[in-house]
Amino acid sequence: MSQGDPIPILMNTRAGAMHAESGEQQLRNMAAKIDLDLRVIRTQSKEDFQSELRKLVAAKAPKVAIAGGDGTVGLAVQELAHTPTALGILPQGTFNNFASAARLHHNLPAALKTLKNGAPKAVDLGKIGDRYFTESAGIGLFAESLALYGKGSNKNFLRGLYAVTRLSLAFRAFEVNLILDGKSQTTRATMCEICNTYRIAQAAPIAPHADIDDGFLDVVIFHDVHRSEVAAYLRAVRAQMHLGLPKVEVLRAKEVRIEARRPLNVHADDQIVGVTPQTITIQPGALQVLVDQEL
């Protein structure tokens, strides 16, 4: 596959708030206005989506685009990590946390211009086991809400609020041992999020200083927060004021191992991927993303 070939774009027709705007014909019309040649590939399932990406990587496609949200991006990076194929993102999800971290346009015409004229930029991914993640991995309140209420609690605001409220009524901190780049600390924690992006879940800015091309993970620890304090701490996260609270600590590391006396659920983005112990690493420059050339 050569540079002059049409750019393949995989369509996720069920993704996100911009679904009505992003019909195939309208997408083609917008692309035609800027002389962008697209080859639309519609997929029927997650397996089909990833199979098509594997074919494109094997064919040495210089770039491939996807239309969808964070879940679609999360599927794509499993196939594109550590390959020369650059990923173009037309953000159409509810929150688009990874696209925001990469400073991509959420406006479809502008995103198409980036797809045409943008340049590849190497950005980081997190990894746990054999799975890459774009946003965060962790334990505690968020992981347990995913375990109990499913990944729908990650992106649906009301479902997420219900899940966290129900959990916080009975949730207690747990003892955990964190080993950051070989240095160990034991603490009681309500939640620990190991972040690649500054926003996670429902656009919660939990790691305001996280950068997807700095080669580090931001480790945000909510220590022994009593259940009566949880709501106030979550409000502080929304207001980006939580880093000044006494029970919040932020550390940075390239590798984080989580150990606990009893098995704790561990999530990566919107999926429960196992229980402790787990080791989480940063994968510097693992993904090529198309961005505006001035970036």
**For the segment 194-216, what is each residue's pLDDT rounded down to a tens digit?**
999 999 998 999 999 999 999 99
Which of the residue ranges 81-90, 143-152, 201-210 would you say has the lowest mean pLDDT? 143-152
Rounded mean pLDDT of 25-49?
92
Confidence of residue 286 (pLDDT cuts 50, 70, 90): very high
* Residue-wise pLDDT tens digits, 216-270: 999 999 999 988 898 899 889 999 999 999 999 999 999 999 999 999 999 999 9
Confidence of residue 183 (pLDDT cuts 50, 70, 90): very high
Listing DSSP states for 211-244 in one string gives: -TTSS-EEEEEE-S--TTTHHHHHHHHHTT-GGG
Confidence of residue 156 (pLDDT cuts 50, 70, 90): low
Q: Chain-wide mean pLDDT for the chain?
A: 90
How far apart CA 282 and CA 85 sit, in angstroms, is: 20
Confidence of residue 76 (pLDDT cuts 50, 70, 90): very high
Q: Quick one: tokens of 224?
A: 């022994």
The torsion region of residue 214 among left (phi > 0), alpha (psi -120 to 50) and beta comes to alpha
Which of the residue ranges 99-103, 154-158, 168-172, 183-187 would you say has the lowest mean pLDDT? 154-158
Q: Quick one: tokens of 51?
A: 């199979």
